[in-house]
Structure 1
Amino acid sequence: MLTYNFDNYNGVTIDKQTLPESESVFIEHFEDMLSSVKAQGKQLIWLTLAIEQSKFIQIATNAGFVFHNCLEDEITLILRIKKEAYAPFVPTHSIGAGAVIFNQHHQILVIREKIATSPGFKLPGGHIELGEKISEAIIREVYEETGIHSEFVGIQGFASKKVFRFGKSNIYFLCRLNALTEEINIQDIDEIAEAKWCDMSDFINDANNSAFVREIVKELKDAQGMHLVDVPNNQGPHIKHEVFFAGNLTHKISC
């Protein structure tokens, strides 16, 4: 018998730990479960399958289930028993961050990737991993790509890109950091071809560099932005991962 739990959307979530190994047994229990849930007037069924349970996917889709979201080692399907049944939307954006970071000589830190199709340079940065804080991710990326240790100061802006990868949009945060060291020592030698400190005027005036990144440096070199704050009573089931407020950029996280 398949075990399931009620959710907040007048639906049920099937416990994947109770799924049998046999397809024939799964089909038998699956049909009983469908009948039971429908008889209870539920509107939605969630089914998450681990990669080793993928043999059950076609059985579920033949019953009307559709894909909802997917991770590397599991996939979640849903069945809307009622056509208008509400299911929370799938993630729509990926998150990236770029570092606007200067040294004591007012030079900006830039990198060139090995996969680059032009001779220009860009800001260090990259993808923010699942569960990772923006303020910690950008420090990590700067170190991996340049070997520079830095401290997070704040967010100076962001941009969005429509349909970036895998049909998702992207949000790109522009983070202000201060350099704690200056010696370039690239850690990710497979990805980064070159990293260097560059005079701002040289970078802005070099047409080989991206027009967008040149505008970033031009606009943000003296800008303030949003700093990281600790919000009182930030607790409970929906605790905020990070909070940024506009104001003087004084709060810093180092690495």
Structure 2
Amino acid sequence: MLTYSMDDYNGVVIEKQALPDSETEFVVQFNDMLSDVKAQGKQLVWFTLSIKQAAFIHLATQAGFVFHNCLEDEITLILRIQKEAYAPFVPTHSIGAGALIFNQQQQILVIREKLASNPGFKLPGGHIELGEKISEAIVREVFEETGVHSEFVGLQGFGSKKSFRFGKSNIYFLCRLNALSEQINIQDIDEIAEAKWCDVSEFVNDQYTSVFVSEIVKTLQHQQGFELVELPENNSPYKKHEVYFAGDIRKHLT
């Protein structure tokens, strides 16, 4: 029989490491396993397959599994033994971050992408990788796109966009950073065509600067934000990855 572990939703998770080599044997073992979990009153069966185990996908779907979520190298399927069985929702959003960062002359750091449809400049930034903190991701993105070293100060705003890519929505965080260096040295030369320090008035009034970004800079340049805080009691099994509280951002900029 296929081996499995229990989950938190009155279901079981098939252990992919124990799959048989034969598809015929898989069908036999799966039917035995399904009878067993049904007898236990379980409602769900989860099944994650690596890309090397893709041959089992059609067997799973024939047994009633549907796709739940997918990564580049694996796919997770789910079987509802009971039609109305609850399963956690699938990921609905991607996360991005943009940087508001100024030099000693109060010029703003901006970049121009090689493949962008808009020929103008924009704020440096990019997507947050799986498991990455916003505060760490934006520092990384700024360095990759401009070569400028920086430190994270806080969040100053965010926006959301419906149906951004692949049918998912997007949340875009505006981050304030302090510049630790000013020399431009683009690391990601495949993506970034140009990076520069620009006078704020020139940037916000440029015909190619989007209205959204222009308003961001004009509105948030001197505003307070949310500070990254460490909470000593944030050590439960549900520990937060990052915690932000409202604070006076100006004390960080002196």
TM-score (norm 1): 0.96
Counterparts of 1:119 and 1:5, CA distance in 2:
53
Q: Which amino acid aligns with 1:241?
A: H
Deviates more, 1:155-164 or 1:13-22: 13-22
Q: CA deviation at 1:237?
A: 1.8
Name the counterpart of 2:247.
247
Structure 1: unaligned runs, 5 residues or longer? none
Contact kept, 8 Å, 1:68 with 1:76, in 2: the verdict is yes
1:101-112 alignment, distance < 5 Å: 101-112=101-112
Q: CA deviation at 1:236?
A: 2.8
Q: CA deviation at 1:90?
A: 0.8
Name the counterpart of 2:45.
45
Please state whether the residue corresponding to 2:242 is helix, strand or coil: coil
Q: CA deviation at 1:105?
A: 0.3
List, as ranges, runs of 4+ consecutive aligned residues in structure 1 with deviation greater than 4 Å: none
Name the counterpart of 2:32.
32
Counterparts of 1:128 and 1:249, CA distance in 2:
23
| Residues 1:64 and 2:58 are matched in the alignment | no
1:87-236 alignment, distance < 5 Å: 87-236=87-236
Q: Which amino acid aligns with 1:215?
A: E
Counterparts of 1:100 and 1:226, CA distance in 2:
14
Name the counterpart of 1:237.
237
Counterparts of 2:196 and 2:207, CA distance in 1:
17
Counterparts of 1:198 and 1:251, CA distance in 2:
24
Equivalent residue pairs, number:
252
Contact kept, 8 Å, 2:93 with 2:169, in 1: the verdict is yes
Q: CA deviation at 1:251?
A: 8.7
Counterparts of 2:232 and 2:249, CA distance in 1:
19
Please state whether the residue corresponding to 2:90 is helix, strand or coil: coil
Q: CA deviation at 1:119?
A: 2.2
Taking only aligned residues, the RMSD between alpha carbons, in angstroms, comes to 1.2
Counterparts of 2:183 and 2:251, CA distance in 1:
25
Please state whether the residue corresponding to 1:181 is helix, strand or coil: coil
Q: Which amino acid aligns with 1:19?
A: L
Counterparts of 1:52 and 1:120, CA distance in 2:
43
Q: Which amino acid aligns with 2:174?
A: L
Q: Which amino acid aligns with 2:11?
A: G
Name the counterpart of 1:2.
2
Deviates more, 1:199-208 or 1:138-147: 199-208
Contact kept, 8 Å, 1:96 with 1:172, in 2: the verdict is yes
Q: CA deviation at 1:60?
A: 0.8
Counterparts of 2:126 and 2:20, CA distance in 1:
41
TM-score (norm 2): 0.96
Q: Which amino acid aligns with 2:242?
A: E
Counterparts of 1:196 and 1:223, CA distance in 2:
23
Q: Which amino acid aligns with 2:80?
A: R
Q: CA deviation at 1:250?
A: 7.0
Q: CA deviation at 1:249?
A: 2.5
Q: 1:251 and 1:233, CA in 2 relative to 1: closer, same or farther beyond 3 A?
A: farther
Please state whether the residue corresponding to 1:242 is helix, strand or coil: coil
Counterparts of 2:55 and 2:251, CA distance in 1:
51
Please state whether the residue corresponding to 2:152 is helix, strand or coil: strand
Please state whether the residue corresponding to 2:61 is helix, strand or coil: helix
Contact kept, 8 Å, 2:222 with 2:250, in 1: the verdict is no
Structure 2: unaligned runs, 5 residues or longer? none
Q: 1:250 and 1:28, CA in 2 relative to 1: closer, same or farther beyond 3 A?
A: farther
Counterparts of 1:242 and 1:76, CA distance in 2:
27
Q: Which amino acid aligns with 1:70?
A: C
| Residues 1:81 and 2:81 are matched in the alignment | yes
Counterparts of 1:133 and 1:105, CA distance in 2:
29
Q: Deviations over 1:54-97 (max 9, x none)?
A: 11111111111000011111111000011110000111110000
